Amino acid sequence: MSVQRFVIQLPCMTPGTSRSIQCLRFGRKGARPKLYMQAAIHANEMPGTMALHHLMPQLIEADAKGLIEGEIVIVPTVNPIGQAQLVGNQHLGRYHLLSYENFNRNWIDLAPAVADRLAKRLGADAKANIALIRKTALAVLKELEPVNELRTLRVEIQKLSVDADFVLDLHCDIHAALHLFMAARDWPKGAATRSGPAYELAADLGAEATMYNEPYPSALTFSGVNGALWARLAERFPDAAIPQACMSCTVEMRSQFDVSHAQGQDDAARLLRWIIRQGIIKGDPGRLPRLKAPATPIQGMDVAYAPKAGFVVYHLEPGAKVKKGQAVCDVIDPESPDGPKARTTIRAQTDGVLFAKRLNGSLAWPGLVLYRIAGEERLAHRAGMSGLDD
């Protein structure tokens, strides 16, 4: 069976213009397990698209050999709206310029509508519950009537992902080591601490940090709404058998500038090993690599904000292990002639891994996120925060 290509047409927003989303399916529609992968919802984040560029020919080859057991749906550039936002010779792909919305916020929380329809229909049969929830969630989406292209994009893309066993949303940061965001419900516990799809994903990809929301992401990110559907329904119906039927993860594939054939080939190889390990494609994935770092809670993530205007210079690079109190960066007043006295040094508030920062020389303004550190100790000032600053 060859790759199946299909197109999602978005509504016209201005006379004479139109946009569409190109989608690909490998394997047989409806087969299990189902994997949905997308890249570049923040349209100027291309490392994930590069990885998929190198992965897709391998999927075509596996498909031709009859090795794909499940279904794989890939949307390599999921956001044509953001792709078109070229302003002053710059590509601005993070926010929708019409509404000022972050493209990775305000996805559709289907749990309330699904719960209302299934209040008396969920029981002790987990397999039956999974099938019923997926069918109902898709029906809710089909009944929506979005009036603009951004809302249409969200509805149509969630139709592709809502019944998936695995959802990977490929992103990157400004300057970062590879890291993951997921739900605590997906991370293995107890006797299974060194197994399971989430652990294997972190190990196969070589993640320098993995952070989990407890019990699931509260922000309406794409990855968040796909995984949290099951967790929210399990909370609503504690007497019903509702497993976590979708492992959904935001994969931050290093930095915006980490786009090369060598890196793309390596990322594709790592993704393919993980896909084989999940039984979606037949084959031998090889020995699972050693996990680079334990998963840590979002509440343990130290997020530093600029206290004043200036420019930023860093003492450390992404992936560095840091200690509480260690200097991470300086915010410098460029108009001051006082040398070291013109510098405001920002120090780590926890032990952990510096996994993301801005570029040296970046302009700073009060409240700008300067860096993030993944730490094991929950920080009191982070209580109730999702960790996803716009």
Domains in the chain and their CATH numbers? 4-293 (3.40.630.10), 298-382 (2.40.50.100)
Residue 126 has what DSSP assignment? H
With 80 as the cut, is the pLDDT of residue 387 above it?
no
In tens, the pLDDT along 10-45 reads: 999 999 999 999 999 999 999 999 999 999 999 999
Q: In the predicted model, is pLDDT for residue 390 greater than 70? A: no
Please say if the pLDDT value at position 191 is more than 60: no
Note the pLDDT of residue 189.
77
pLDDT value at 142 more than 60: yes
Q: Which pLDDT does position 194 carry in this prediction?
A: 81
Rounded to the nearest integer, the mean pLDDT of the chain is 96
Asked if the model's pLDDT at residue 240 lies above 60, the reply is: yes
Q: pLDDT tens digit string along 273-299? A: 999 999 999 999 999 999 999 999 999
Confidence bin at 385 (pLDDT 50/70/90): low
Compute the distance between CA of residue 270 and CA of residue 189 in angstroms, rounded to an integer.
24
Give per-residue pLDDT as tens, 103-139. Answer: 999 999 999 999 999 998 999 999 999 999 999 999 9
Determine the pLDDT at residue 145.
96
